Structure 1
């Protein structure tokens, strides 16, 4: 990222590029999911989360979609960075924006995604619970995290 990325609210025109970004990101980071799992979840993201959540877009100076997050109140429901831009501070920038507008946050993380867990723990989150399945009953354990008391 040559220039400081901008965070802006989602617009309907963002749906297709953010869905494509989600697919690239999930395939790069959620290696525990089969392609069938990804295809089963895809409509829930494209037709549900991207339109139902409070979505914020991280874009580069050229308008390129670098990442996004989806909020439901103070719960971070989604945070995805394009794999080509991972590790460059975009996730931390989105997280800081969420904290600025919502205060203390909670987030759920797939237990099989240790990189995501490490990301949140390095930014002050602690595990507060565990569910043996995801929200749709699939066999993907979920760790529940909240920001540690400050």
Structure 2
């Protein structure tokens, strides 16, 4: 098997309709694969918020496969990672690591909140140099999904 060419992070400054649709598809597929604590009603609650509000509230960087399709993205705002999602078909290929490393290398990122019920994500961020500094019983929408507040330690 021929290794795939290295992907270069791409800043998404103006979202095309196709990119927005693909970002929501990646978000939904990743959530279904990793957020087992969410029910269908929860996913349907968050989906329009992701599409219509959250994507516009962050600075987005994505990685695309050779054919141009977005396979992962990260959104940051005010020194925080607000979202990081990778298409499950591409899990384990270093995409999340590359996206996180890119925004950390640019500087200014100091924190991330992670669903406590997503141990894979918690472990990923801890492996990448974040440490738990606090916990909330509810998420930002007031739903009963506990969040861990992680702070960048500067080492990974």
How would you bin the TM-score normalised by the shorter chain? over 0.9
The one-character-per-residue Cα deviations of 1:94-135 (angstroms, maximum 9, x if unpaired) are 011111223442100000000000000111110000000001
Candidates 4, 8, 11, aligned match of 1:9: 11
Alignment partner of 2:45: what SS? Answer: helix
Shift of 1:144: 0.2
List structure 1 segments (4+ residues) > 6 angstroms apart after TM superposition: none
Q: Which residue of 1 aligns with 2:125?
A: 120
User: 1:44 deviation in Å?
Assistant: 1.0
Aligned to 1:79: 84
SS of 1:76's equivalent in the other structure is strand
Residues matched between the structures, number: 150
Asked if the contact 2:79–2:110 (Cα under 8 Å) also holds between the matched residues in 1, the reply is yes
The root-mean-square deviation of aligned C-alpha atoms, in Å, is 1.3
Partner of 1:142: 147
Give 3-state SS (helix, strand or coil) of 1:56's partner: strand
Unaligned ranges ≥5, structure 2? none
Give the CA deviation at 1:40.
0.3
Distance in 2, matches of 1:26 and 1:124, equals 23
3-state SS of paired residue (1:3): coil
Q: Is the 1:107–1:145 contact (alpha carbons within 8 Å) kept by the matching residues of 2?
A: yes
Judge conservation of contact 2:112–2:151 (CA < 8 Å) in 1: yes
